[in-house]
Structure 1
Amino acid sequence: MTMKGVVLSSISCLFVFFFSLSGLHGINSEAQPEDESGHANLPPRGWNSYDSFSWVITEKQFLQNVELVAQRLKSKGYEYVVVDFLWYRKKVEGAYTDSLGFDVIDEWGRMQPDPGRWPSSAGGRGFTDIAAKVHSMGLKFGIHVMRGVSTQAVNGHTPILDVKTGKAYEEGGRQWYASDVGIKERACVWMKNGFMSVNTKTGAGRAFLRSLYQQYADWGVDFVKHDCVFGSDLDLDEITVVSEVLKELNHPITYSLSPGVDATPALAKEVSGLVNMYRVTGDDWDTWEDVASHFNVARDMAAAGLIGTGGLQGKSWPDLDMLPFGWLTDPGSNEGPHRHSNLTRTEKETQMTLWSMAKSPIMYGGDMRRISVRDLALITNPTLLEINWFSSNNKEFPHVTGTQCSRLRRHTLSHNHESEKCAGTTLDAQVLALRSCKDTKAKGWSHKLLEDDLEQICWKGKTTKHQAPFCLYKRRPFFELHQETRNKSQINGKLHLLEAETKDSCLIAAPNRKLTSAEVSKGSFSNCRWEAYQMWELKRNGTLINNYSGLCASLDSAKATPVGSRAWIASGRQGEIYLAFFNLNKETSVISTTASDVAKALPERNSRDSTCSGRELWSGKSFGPVKVLSITVQAHGSALFVLNCH
């Protein structure tokens, strides 16, 4: 990123610096944990295979990446190496993300690594040998797991293992099978042919989950990334049971949830004490729209006090997803890495800065075998890693002014910005959100009768000023011929909610595939069909509950796709202040604040502090005592100040 200008003002003088990127400098050469007594006492760091290999990674490719993580990243606190989804799926013709019948399972219906891609797993060894190799390099081994039980196990009528006896689970005078505990109407929406929830109200359902995680512990797994159970796919019962099982294991396992489409602070509070990290966005890929979409959710999680709260046998952290830098594949691909990240150098710096200021877990997603010198320097930058682990009071800083400039003077900045055609960039919007039905903000829906016997469900709750009421057209779900055998009682009292009277586009509560962060905000409608995630019920208390997720819809007033100037602030452990400016505009912008506002934002500071000294990270330039900080930031760029204020 190139900063075309920075203005730093004091009472007696004006300092003007013009510079370009001269290096990455930090205040700490090695940032290491101070306390390892609990799970995730610091935001976890590591490498994940998904962004670069999708699901097709092999044992050889994985171990090659592990060796490089150990050599280049371990000393910087990166300790987890994670095999992402479908490690149990055979890589043969016809196999893809939502295919059925291509998985390797054992006699108890549990997933096993595909020996074609993971040869060391042959003979029922699972990931035992892989985990041992990872541990020998001083790292921790992780895997991705799905919700509940596989459709393949349910169809195969596999028995359930009782880990306490080593035999088939028996209760009520009979033996139990996967088909007894699988809930077919609770299939994972983006992999509906693959997995479904289990009935955790039964002893057999809990026994099945216990057998899964005991197996992972026996293999030596240190980290599980549990998918399709959070956000719009919430399954709080399964998360609770898994958390309880993990507490009982002799081998400690860090517990992560993924993804978090439509995650809200209210939902996060329900799971934060049960886990160690949880995704609060859809899949993040290498587009600027995905980067920008994280600013609001990061702000909301911080404002709710969710950063580093008590978690499973340690702490828990809102997770903004992996860093899609370097050598990648494409979303939903059946092949390994073949292209460079589409993010510019400036956009990568912005993303890494936000992840650090928000204290998100940091998981690198690129192929380590082709990591560039610049990407390596960025993800190991000592100042950013220091902030990510050891800063406190992290939150969005609202006391900034920003002007978007279509033309900036090359050698000086005028105090009269009108001559530079600058304009502010704020945009209010209504956002349809899902939240716990216990949340009072979910109450606000009512029935409305129109002419011609048309009916609507309308939001009467609080909305942004001057915005028209938000209404959806009501229609009873219809049956198709092949659905006649279905249990019609499942939709009694349930509604389809249409975007328009004449448009067959229904409100959904969960995506029919994994969405990127940017796509989450583009609408929650799809073609109407007989699916639980499209069925709603209006309750007398004014809540609109979804039949699939059990979550309630609300209409929130918020910023639309984040635009304009944003900032974050945090306290350093040695008394310094970290202040980050972000320019989310398409044009270069001037972003400013005052030293007094900086001091007021942090609880331990003296509000009379009126001047700050320090340096700006990306330039490495230092400055003397100043009263006003004002800097020109490139489009999609950031500036990061390390300040001492008095």
Structure 2
Amino acid sequence: MGTPPENDPAGEPDSSTARRGRSASTPPMGWNSWDCYGGSVREAEVLANARYLRDHLLPHGWDHVVVDIQWYEPTADTAGYHEGAVLDLDANGRPMPSVNRFPSAADGAGFAPLAARIHEMGLRFGLHILRGIPRQAVAQRLPILGTDWTAADVADHDHVCPWNPDNLGLDHEHPGAQAYYDSLLARFAEWGVDYVKADDMLAPYHAAEIAAFSRAIEASGRPMVLSLSPGTDLGLEHLDHLVQHSDVWRISDDLWDRWPLVYDQFERMARWAPHAGQGRWPDADMLPLGRIGIRAHGGDDRRSRLTRDEQRSLMALWAMARSPLMFGGDLPSNDDWTLGLLTNDALLAITKDSVDNRQHRREGELVVWTASSGDGRIRYVAQFNLGDVPADSTVQAAELGTDADDLVVDILGSGTPVRLGVSRRTPLPPHGCVLWAISSS
């Protein structure tokens, strides 16, 4: 596998060893099926969300449509994962979309027809895949494409996913393990996949697996964003390797619509955000907003339980940290308020083009983040109250490197410009925030 490159003082990897074909020059933005449909999403639902994305969000930069886990299981439902379920595989042990859920996949077409329809809308197509090789392929000793080996020759029975029974691990001491991943990613390239969410990669950290997956993407000849999950207790000691082999990596477990989970992301993103940049995006996970839980595993059909103040704070942190933005709700069920939050171009500009993003200071439950626009003309300041009672947050013009006469606009508020002043004191509700754009007068 080789030794990961040493970082220079700015944290950039040696370009001679960085993964080629990166297509995530900015944080990916789009829709993912997990929060509302769990493992049971159907083709018609994917297309309905894609059409909404095209019609309402594409003009604002949202362009990914990602089918999450279990697309190869015909019996997938809300009950979680089914041990021993018969999966749809091709003759070489590679997952195929279940035709009863994805009718266009009939006759071996796989996801190619659905990806083509997504592309015709001007969108990008993504899918989820689990680390390893299907147990079913191992039991049937299915051949690995282009080799004399079978799935049984490369299976690792000791390093398996602890929460999903579909796969065994891969023995990366055996060359057939790389051959299997090469065949899998070649199939994804044939289908026209643009984004791969590879799961069970980071907890524990599977370095050989990540490198093999990255090599397979390169060998496929098609640029694909590689997003790694789930990120439990992910540490900065893996930064060099992550930058070398992936584009996006999760920094937490799944995020759901509860304030304590959002609260915990502030500390994590304070560690990771300074290391974000082109093709290297720490991911605070999907946005559990709008209507979620429709057929989620163990969930219920509901509107997000986060208050509007909490949703504003979530969006402000994700933007200031330049996390990918993957909406988890059912887009056709959106209300106007949620749509307004997702189409706030001043907010989205921070995600797309900002620098020096970092936590400026934290005093108890009062947190201040700062960043600048890519051209240096705008200074962004986010003030958060993470506490359960109202509180006032104060920033000084001098500490922000700005002048008292500069104009400030609350991106999440009225949008009316006012003078910054020498000191600005802002009352904040519980779990609330204010996000300023500061420009010279």
| TM-score under structure 1 length normalisation | 0.63
Residue equivalent to 1:357: 320
- How far did residue 574 of structure 1 move? 4.9
- How far did residue 318 of structure 1 move? 0.4
- How far did residue 180 of structure 1 move? 1.3
Contact 2:40 2:76 in 1 (8 A): no
SS of the aligned residue for 1:393 comes to strand
Which residue of the other structure, out of 365, 373, 396, is the alignment partner of 2:336?
373
1:323 aligns with 2:307: no
Compared CA separation, residues 585 and 202, structure 1 to 2 (3 A): same
1:116 aligns with 2:100: yes
1:595 aligns with 2:397: yes
- How far did residue 265 of structure 1 move? 1.6
Give the stretch that moved more between structures: 565-574 or 626-635.
565-574
Residue equivalent to 2:418: 623
Query: Structure 2 CA distance, aligned partners of 1:378 and 1:321?
Result: 17
Contact 2:78 2:296 in 1 (8 A): no
Compared CA separation, residues 353 and 146, structure 1 to 2 (3 A): same
Query: Structure 1 CA distance, aligned partners of 2:75 and 2:354?
Result: 44
Query: Structure 1 CA distance, aligned partners of 2:420 and 2:432?
Result: 25
- How far did residue 360 of structure 1 move? 0.6
- How far did residue 96 of structure 1 move? 3.6
Amino acid at match of 1:344: T
Query: Structure 1 CA distance, aligned partners of 2:105 and 2:22?
Result: 31
- How far did residue 94 of structure 1 move? 11
Gaps of 5+ in 1: 1-36, 163-168, 171-175, 310-314, 402-425, 427-563, 600-604
1:103 aligns with 2:87: yes
Q: Deviations over 1:578-599 (max 9, x none)?
A: 0000100000010112111111
Q: Deviations over 1:490-523 (max 9, x none)?
A: xxxxxxxxxxxxxxxxxxxxxxxxxxxxxxxxxx
Query: Structure 1 CA distance, aligned partners of 2:436 and 2:312?
Result: 14
Contact 1:397 1:569 in 2 (8 A): yes
1:284 aligns with 2:255: yes
Alignment of 1:155-170 (within 5 A): 155-162=139-146, 169-170=147-148
Compared CA separation, residues 125 and 632, structure 1 to 2 (3 A): same
C-alpha RMSD over aligned residues:
2.0
Residue equivalent to 2:3: none
Query: Structure 2 CA distance, aligned partners of 1:368 and 1:330?
Result: 12
Identity over aligned pairs, percent: 32
Query: Structure 2 CA distance, aligned partners of 1:120 and 1:233?
Result: 36
Residue equivalent to 1:544: none
- How far did residue 200 of structure 1 move? 1.8
Alignment of 1:42-81 (within 5 A): 42-81=26-65
Name whichever structure is richer in strand by fraction: 1
Amino acid at match of 2:417: S
Alignment of 1:231-630 (within 5 A): 232-302=203-273, 305-308=274-277, 315-329=279-293, 333=297, 338-398=301-361, 426=364, 564-572=365-373, 573-599=375-401, 609=403, 612-617=406-411, 618-630=413-425
Name whichever structure is richer in helix by fraction: 2
Amino acid at match of 2:410: E
- How far did residue 38 of structure 1 move? 4.9
1:154 aligns with 2:123: no
Contact 2:27 2:322 in 1 (8 A): yes
| TM-score under structure 2 length normalisation | 0.91
Which residue of the other structure, out of 159, 176, 183, is the alignment partner of 1:204?
176
Query: Structure 2 CA distance, aligned partners of 1:579 and 1:308?
Result: 19
Contact 2:291 2:329 in 1 (8 A): yes
Q: Deviations over 1:95-124 (max 9, x none)?
A: 741422331111211111111111111211
SS of the aligned residue for 2:369 comes to strand
- How far did residue 222 of structure 1 move? 1.0
Compared CA separation, residues 584 and 81, structure 1 to 2 (3 A): same
Structure with higher Rg: it is 1
Query: Structure 2 CA distance, aligned partners of 1:596 and 1:331?
Result: 51
- How far did residue 644 of structure 1 move? 2.8
Contact 1:566 1:582 in 2 (8 A): yes
Compared CA separation, residues 582 and 94, structure 1 to 2 (3 A): closer
Contact 1:595 1:611 in 2 (8 A): no
Contact 1:396 1:568 in 2 (8 A): yes
Contact 1:261 1:282 in 2 (8 A): yes
Compared CA separation, residues 591 and 94, structure 1 to 2 (3 A): closer
Gaps of 5+ in 2: 1-20
Amino acid at match of 1:566: V
- How far did residue 640 of structure 1 move? 0.8
